[in-house]
Structures are given as C-alpha cells and as structure tokens.
Homo-oligomer: A and B are copies of this chain.
C-alpha cells in the first residue's frame, strides 16, 4: 500500500519542542502532526475487517460551573455508526449510504456536511487512507439540538468506527481531534461533548493548544444517575451562546471558579451531595440561559423539591439535567420535572433516567474478512 504523505496537519496540535525536527529528517516529517503516543507507522494500514459498528453515548456538557470545559457521558442514549469497506466508493473517500432515526431527514448525506462524515474523513486523513473506500451508515439515536451532545455522538461513533476498521491505530487524543473538526463546523471548537463521548466518564478540558484532557474518575463503587428531561422546544446553540455575558464581575468569577473546583472535587471524591450542589450553583451562564427556556426555573425547583441533589441546563439546553443516586427516585424526579415543564412552560417533555457512562465510544460489532 502507499506510503503515508504529510497532507494532514491538525490546526490545533502543537508539536512538542523535543520532537521538533528539521524538515531534512524524512523519517518524522509525515508524523509531525501526531502526538508522540501514537504508534509511528509510515505505511497506510489495511482494514482488519470488512465492517464495524460503533456506539457513542450522549453527553452532558457544562454541568453548571463547568461551562465550556467539563462534560460527562451518559449510558444508554447515543448514536451508532456502521462502516464498511466498499469497493464502489472511490479509494480514500467515504460515502454515507444511510441515515435512520426520527430526525434522519434533517441530516445531509454529503459527508462534508454531516458530523459523522466529517469525523470519519478526518480519521481517514490521519491514518493516511488512500487505497480503500468506505461506506457509512448512521443510526441517529439522539434528538438534534437537545443539549445532549447529538453532533458529538455522531462524530465520536464515526471516528471510533473508522479507527476500528483499520486496527485502532489512533489514540484517544487523535480521535478527539478528529471529532473536534466536526464540532468546529456545527457548533464551535469545544471538546466538552466529544471528549467524554469518546473517553466516557467525566472529562475536564484543560487546554486546546496543546490539547490537554483530564479524565476525572468517579468512584466505581458509587451509583450516579442523570435525570434528563427534554422538552419539545428548540434552543439553537448560537442563540444560547449569544445570551451569554461577555464580561464577568470579579465576585461572580470567583464564585463560579470555586464551584467549578468543588464540582471537580465532588466527582473525584464521589460526593453526590457536593456534586449536586455544585451543579446547581452557576451564577453566570444558567441565569442568562434559563429564562430563554420556558419553565426551566420551575423545572429546576421541582427537581430539587423532589429530592434531586442538583439540577441545571444540559449543554446549551433545552434539556434539563438533574442528578440522583437511585433509579426509582430518578423516575419520580423526572415525573415532577416533566409536569413543571408542562405547567410553567406549556411544553411537552420526556424524561430519561440514565447512569454515568464510564466507557465512552466503543466498537459493538465487527465482521472479519
């Protein structure tokens, strides 16, 4: 197969000084843009199976004071992407053969304008795939624009699937970078959905240049349930972002910073009461966004009164997210939240109670040669 050539350079990856080499060194030129943890391989990899299927979970970004740098994955909701080697597709290219799910018609099949397509193409570029054509099929399990990381789940599933069919040559960071290319196109260069969608659990995005991700391990012996209540209401990310203040008063900055610290400590210490308290404590973003989602303030109140440890807006909304340690109590909390959306916001809503996803995007099926 062909030798990989240096036609991919992720814009947001800084080359560590120690690995910088002069352009006269042909051995490393091809791989300069890839992090050192990636196995250096100059050869284009062969597919190790004819088809694979990957699932990526829904994600809750922001988590109150974790605005724009913290997110976590939620099990049991998500998108599924199947990838097949397809001799009818031009080598080095990808074609979207099918999109299924309630919102299938709203999504484009042009891979350059589809989240799964963009991430898949990026992974192919990173791997230097030029000899094989791929066909992609997307099962859209998540509603669009709901605040549950719908675009990130499509991108993450596609990135993991393409990586999987070629033998998992890329590491987590590359998959996040590939998925970020997709996020950049649809909602902005933020990794607080794609990072947990790929890595599972809670992930703190420390920086982008270089990409620096900190997984925050929630203790395995503890239960954590998310009550996700999604109203029948559109809250476009752009509008929700435009509602944010451009300047923050120092006391609010200090407050939110301390709550962000408390949130991180609560996750690592498995302190659900503390986690809930931190989740509910945002004084900067939630107060601006909640009024744009009819009934949200009442929904939060209803969740807390029903025994939730905390409640806030998931991502840019309109989904409301509450946390609890018990599935049955979660259902009861969800019922009250749905009622509040209807009573105060005149909105129909549906509730899901889901556990923390500790795994992230994964291959769920593969067919060998």
Interface on A for B, CB 8 Å cutoff? 65-70, 204-207, 214, 216, 244-250, 253-254, 256-265, 268-269, 274, 284
Q: 20 extra interchain contacts, Cβ-Cβ under 8 A, other than A67-B254, A206-B259, A260-B260?
A: A65-B257, A66-B261, A68-B258, A70-B258, A70-B261, A204-B258, A204-B265, A205-B258, A207-B258, A214-B262, A245-B250, A247-B247, A248-B250, A253-B284, A257-B260, A258-B260, A262-B264, A264-B264, A264-B265, A265-B268
- Residues of B within 8 Å of A269, CB to CB, are 268
Q: Tell me, in angstroms, the Cα distance from A260 to B256 when the chains sit together.
A: 10
Copies in the complex: 2
Q: What residue of chain B has the Cβ atom nearest to residue A67's Cβ? A: B254
Q: What residue of chain B has the Cβ atom nearest to residue A216's Cβ? A: B265
Q: Tell me, in angstroms, the Cα distance from A253 to B68 when the chains sit together.
A: 10
* Other-chain residue from B250, B263, B264 in contact with A247 (beta carbon distance below 8 A): B250
- Residues of B within 8 Å of A248, CB to CB, are 247-250, 253
Query: Does the CB pair B254–A214 fall under 8 Å?
Result: no
Q: What residue of chain B has the Cβ atom nearest to residue A217's Cβ? A: B269
Q: Tell me, in angstroms, the Cα distance from A257 to B269 when the chains sit together.
A: 19
Q: What residue of chain B has the Cβ atom nearest to residue A68's Cβ? A: B254
Q: What residue of chain B has the Cβ atom nearest to residue A66's Cβ? A: B261
Which of A214, A246, A269: most chain B CB closer than 10 A?
Answer: A214
- Residues of B within 8 Å of A264, CB to CB, are 261-262, 264-265, 268
Q: Tell me, in angstroms, the Cα distance from A269 to B260 when the chains sit together.
A: 16
Q: Tell me, in angstroms, the Cα distance from A269 to B246 when the chains sit together.
A: 33
Instruction: Supply 19 A–B pairs (Cβ within 8 Å), ascending by A.
Output: A69-B254, A70-B261, A204-B265, A205-B258, A206-B262, A244-B250, A246-B250, A247-B247, A248-B249, A253-B257, A256-B257, A257-B260, A260-B261, A261-B261, A261-B263, A261-B264, A264-B264, A264-B268, A268-B268
- Residues of B within 8 Å of A214, CB to CB, are 262, 265, 274
Q: Tell me, in angstroms, the Cα distance from A55 to B257 when the chains sit together.
A: 31
- Residues of B within 8 Å of A263, CB to CB, are 261
* Other-chain residue from B216, B245, B257, B274 in contact with A257 (beta carbon distance below 8 A): B257
Q: What residue of chain B has the Cβ atom nearest to residue A215's Cβ? A: B265
Q: Tell me, in angstroms, the Cα distance from A59 to B206 when the chains sit together.
A: 26
